A and B are shown apart, each in its own frame.
Chain A
Amino acid sequence: MSGRVFLLGDGISTDAIMPGRYNVTTDPDALRRACLIEARPDFAETVQPGDVIVAGRNFGCGSSREHAPLSIKRNQVAAVIAASFNRIFYRNAVNIGLPVIRCAEAHRVLRNGDEVTVDALTGAITTPTLTLQGEPPSGVALRIIEAGSLIELIRHGGWAALEEQRHVS
Chain B
Amino acid sequence: MGTITEELFSRRLGRAVHAGDTVIAEVDVAMAHDVTGPLAIEAFRSLDQPLWDASRIVFNFDHVMPANTVAAAELHRIIREFCVEHTITNLFAEGICHQVMVDRRLARPGGIVVGADSHSTTYGGLGCFATGLGSTDIGVVFATGKTWFRIPETVRIEVRGALPSGVYAKDLALHVIARLGADGADYCAVEWGGDAVATMSVDERLTLCNLSTDFGAKTAMVEPDAVTFAHSGDDPFELPPVRPEYLRTLVVDAERLRPQVAVHPSIDNVHDIDEVSGTPLDEVFIGSCTNGRLSDLAIAASILSGRTVHPRTRTIVAPASRGVYLDALSAGYIEIFARAGALVVNPGCGPCLGRQHGVVGPGERVLSTSNRNYPGRMGSPDAQIYLASPAVAAASALAGAITDPATLEPVS
Contacts and interface: CB of A to CB of B under 8 A. Distances in A.
| A pairs with B | yes
Contacts of A15: 354, 372, 374-377
A66 B69 contact: no
B148 interface: yes
Interface string B30-57: 0000011011001100110000000000
Given A154-B140, A169-B21, A64 B374 contact: no
Contacts of A154: 47, 140, 143-144
A66 B199 CA distance: 37
Given A162-B148, A169-B23, A24 B35 contact: yes
A167 interface: yes
A20 B140 contact: no
Contacts of B375: 15-16, 38
Contacts of B186: 58, 84, 86-87
B47 A155 contact: yes
B218 interface: yes
A140 B22 contact: yes
Interface in B154-192: 182-183, 186-187
For this complex, into which size category does the number of interface residues on chain A fall? Answer: 35 or more
Interface in B47-80: 47, 63-64, 69, 71-72, 74-75, 78
Contact of A150 (B140, B266, B372, B374): B140
Contacts of B146: 159
B132 interface: yes
A150 B182 contact: no
Contacts of B71: 24-25
Contacts of A50: none
Contacts of A167: 22
B261 interface: no
A140 B64 CA distance: 35
Contacts of A150: 136-137, 140
Contact of A139 (B22, B144, B216, B359): B22
A62 B69 contact: no
Nearest to B137: A95
B24 interface: yes
For this complex, into which size category does the number of interface residues on chain B fall? Answer: 35 or more
Nearest to A63: B118
A25 B36 CA distance: 10
B12 interface: no
B405 interface: no
B101 interface: no
B132 A20 contact: no
B136 A64 contact: no
Interface string A133-169: 0000001100000000111001100110011000111
B344 interface: no
Contacts of B21: 169
B182 A11 contact: yes
B296 interface: no
Interface in B107-154: 116-118, 120, 132-137, 139-140, 143-144, 146, 148, 150
A21 B134 contact: no
A67 to B, nearest CB: 7
B129 to A, nearest CB: 15
A55 interface: no
Given A15-B377, A38-B376, A61-B182, A67 B39 contact: yes
A163 B36 contact: no
A169 B22 contact: yes
Interface in B223-275: 266
A38 B182 contact: no
A96 interface: yes
B183 A64 contact: no
**Which 10 pairs, one residue from A and one from B, show the smallest C-beta to C-beta distance?**
A92-B134, A20-B353, A13-B374, A66-B134, A58-B183, A95-B136, A15-B374, A64-B118, A66-B135, A38-B376
Interface of B: 17, 21-24, 35-36, 38-39, 42-43, 46-47, 63-64, 69, 71-72, 74-75, 78, 116-118, 120, 132-137, 139-140, 143-144, 146, 148, 150, 182-183, 186-187, 216, 218, 266, 353-355, 359, 372, 374-377, 379, 381
Given A15-B375, A95-B134, A169-B21, 19 more contacts: A16-B374, A16-B376, A20-B354, A20-B377, A21-B354, A21-B359, A24-B72, A26-B39, A26-B75, A62-B118, A63-B353, A64-B36, A65-B134, A69-B134, A87-B216, A88-B132, A88-B133, A151-B139, A163-B24
7 contacts: A16-B376, A19-B376, A25-B75, A88-B132, A91-B133, A139-B22, A155-B47
